[in-house]
């Protein structure tokens, strides 16, 4: 029997009080047409009500793929558990979901992406929940914020401490979704799904399995429908036995603001000379210094911000391939992309399902991680997940907590303070005007990475800025290098709001 349906027909089966798992990373793999139909149904019928949405990585963006904003309606969505959330410019109107969060119209939680995948996996297997040390001494920890993003969420904690075999662990109860909404490229009439135009699988299989094992509903949005038997078995990433409805959406974007780029899906290998070199500026100087921390043959995770430019530095300096890049969405190797295409890689060597990638990250199986910072505390702790004045400017923690929990080497990068006017002249850094906001402070606004835990675990932690390089040594921030042309006291120590 054919499983092809309209989006309206598929979402008509979603009941009040449902838990809905959404497979997406901003615009990448976002089942936007199905989410739009679900929101439109609520506008017409006032149903379904009292939904809980769970998405390990942001569902939608601020640049043309509304995603979760389609269902961010009072009365419709009452609880959301997200690894990250749609984010964008400070001057832009906040997404509807952020407006609901800040207005206390919804219980909202920021749970590390890998842990959310773990929660769904445990639900699929009918196990009680997740015991993990990921998140200890960070905002995830009940001793700090317990993942709560607002006062409404604080009243209903979702994580607790547990003693197991004499050690302290965090415990997250398993979640069994009633509905999984996923996306692929092609479906046959029996619901078998392939991902040949996608830049990742994310957790499509795992979400479908969790919903199916809970007796729930699985809706798959696809670009096109094929005849039964026309998809090769090795290309099927989600079998039709797990899928209830297939919704065809021919105009779905491949990723944020991108209709289709065959290099993202590994169908075309781009010549290296087609990757634009970074403009020479202060940010590029930071990225080049970060690159010097790498060693040949390493597997290296990379995050958003200045560090995202490091792969282009290696391409420019004829060192591409000396390290293998790993990103949480699942691409292995290739050249991680920038801007709207962040989270995708061109010329990837492999695509790994995100839950497997996070298992690799959580256990510290890789060699190094290159990440950014908003603030650094005197004990080396880092805030990357909250800007209190403009919350939608940051996406939340995403996979940051999973990645840094046991990483052997971490290189954080960013400007030393916010708002400074600077340039490079004749190999020297010239500061024309000092920034007004210190980024090295006594205490960070939110602990995304725990310096205290890093000390306990003996992690190698370095902070690279345009002015200096700082290392975390015995729990203290120590300046180990200074940029040419600067005075240590005037330009570095006096500009920090904590002791270095």
Q: Which residues are catalytic?
A: 328
Distances (CA, A) of 231 to 183, 218, 432: 16, 20, 61
b/e 138-174 (16+ beta carbons within 10 angstroms → b): bbbbbebbbbbbbebbeeeebbeeeeeeeeebbbbeb
Q: Is there a contact between 330 and 351 (Cβ–Cβ < 8 Å)?
A: yes
Distances (CA, A) of 123 to 117, 120, 177, 208, 376: 10, 5, 8, 12, 36
Cα 341 to Cα 247: distance, rounded to the nearest angstrom: 25
Q: Is there a contact between 178 and 211 (Cβ–Cβ < 8 Å)?
A: yes
Q: Is there a contact between 25 and 202 (Cβ–Cβ < 8 Å)?
A: yes
Collapsing DSSP to helix, strand or coil, 28 comes out as strand
Q: What is the full DSSP assignment across 178-190?
A: SEEEEE-SEEETT
Q: Tell me phi and psi for residue 193, to 5 degrees.
A: -120, 135
Residue 23 token pair: 């497979």
Helical (H) or strand (E) element with 22: strand 19-22
Cα 183 to Cα 204: distance, rounded to the nearest angstrom: 7
Residue 19's DSSP bridge partners are 52
Q: What is the DSSP letter of 14?
A: P
473 CB-near residues (< 8 Å, 6+ apart) = none
Closest CA to 48 of 23, 80, 82, 73: 73
Chain centre distance of CA 475: 28
What do you get for the CA distance between the two ends of the chain, in Å? Answer: 68
Bond before 48 cis per omega within 30 degrees: yes
Distances (CA, A) of 59 to 27, 88, 142, 158, 220: 7, 14, 26, 21, 15
Rg (CA), the chain: 23
Cα 30 to Cα 252: distance, rounded to the nearest angstrom: 8
């Amino acid at each position: 029997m054919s499983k092809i349906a309209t989006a309206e027909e598929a979402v008509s089966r979603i009941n009040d009080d449902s838990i809905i798992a959404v497979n997406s990373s901003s615009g990448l793999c976002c089942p936007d047409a199905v989410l739009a139909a679900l929101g439109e149904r609520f506008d017409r019928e006032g149903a379904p009500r009292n939904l809980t949405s769970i998405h390990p990585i942001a569902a939608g963006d601020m640049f043309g793929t509304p995603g979760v904003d389609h269902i961010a309606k009072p009365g419709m969505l009452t609880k959301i558990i997200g690894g990250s959330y749609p984010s964008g410019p400070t001057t832009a109107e906040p997404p509807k979901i952020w407006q609901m969060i800040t207005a206390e119209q919804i219980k909202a939680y920021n749970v590390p992406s890998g842990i959310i995948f773990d929660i769904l996996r445990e639900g699929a297997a009918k196990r009680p929940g997740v015991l993990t040390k990921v998140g200890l001494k960070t905002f995830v920890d009940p001793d700090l914020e317990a993942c709560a993003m607002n006062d409404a969420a604080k009243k209903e904690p979702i994580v607790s401490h547990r003693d197991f075999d004499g050690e302290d662990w965090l415990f997250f109860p398993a979640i069994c979704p009633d509905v999984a909404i996923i996306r692929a490229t092609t479906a046959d009439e029996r619901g078998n799904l392939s991902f040949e135009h996608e830049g990742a699988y994310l957790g499509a299989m795992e979400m479908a399995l969790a919903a199916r094992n809970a007796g729930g509903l699985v809706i798959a949005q696809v670009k096109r429908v094929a005849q039964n038997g026309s998809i090769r078995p090795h290309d099927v990433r989600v079998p039709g036995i797990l899928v209830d409805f297939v919704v065809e959406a021919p105009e779905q974007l491949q990723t944020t603001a991108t209709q289709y780029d065959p290099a993202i899906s590994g169908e075309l290998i781009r010549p290296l000379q087609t990757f634009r070199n970074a403009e020479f500026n202060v940010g590029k100087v930071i990225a080049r210094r970060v690159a010097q921390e790498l060693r040949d043959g390493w597997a290296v995770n990379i995050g958003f911000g200045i560090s995202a430019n490091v792969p282009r530095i290696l391409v420019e300096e004829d060192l591409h391939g000396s390290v293998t890049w790993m990103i949480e969405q699942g691409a292995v190797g290739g050249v991680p992309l920038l801007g709207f295409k962040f989270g995708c890689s061109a010329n990837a060597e492999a695509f790994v399902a995100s839950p497997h990638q996070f298992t690799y990250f959580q256990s510290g199986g890789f060699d190094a991680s290159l990440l950014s910072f908003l603030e650094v505390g005197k004990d080396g702790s880092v805030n990357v997940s909250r800007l209190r004045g403009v919350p939608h400017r940051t996406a939340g923690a995403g996979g940051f907590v999973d990645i840094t929990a046991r990483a052997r080497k971490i290189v954080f990068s960013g400007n030393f303070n916010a708002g400074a006017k600077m340039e490079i002249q004749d190999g020297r850094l010239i500061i024309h005007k000092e920034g007004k906001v210190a980024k090295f402070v006594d205490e960070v606004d939110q602990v995304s990475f725990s310096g205290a835990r890093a000390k306990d675990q003996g992690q190698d932690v370095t902070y690279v800025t345009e002015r200096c390089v700082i290392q975390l040594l015995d729990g203290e921030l120590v300046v180990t290098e200074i940029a040419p042309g600067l005075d240590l006291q005037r330009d570095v120590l006096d500009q920090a709001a904590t002791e270095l």
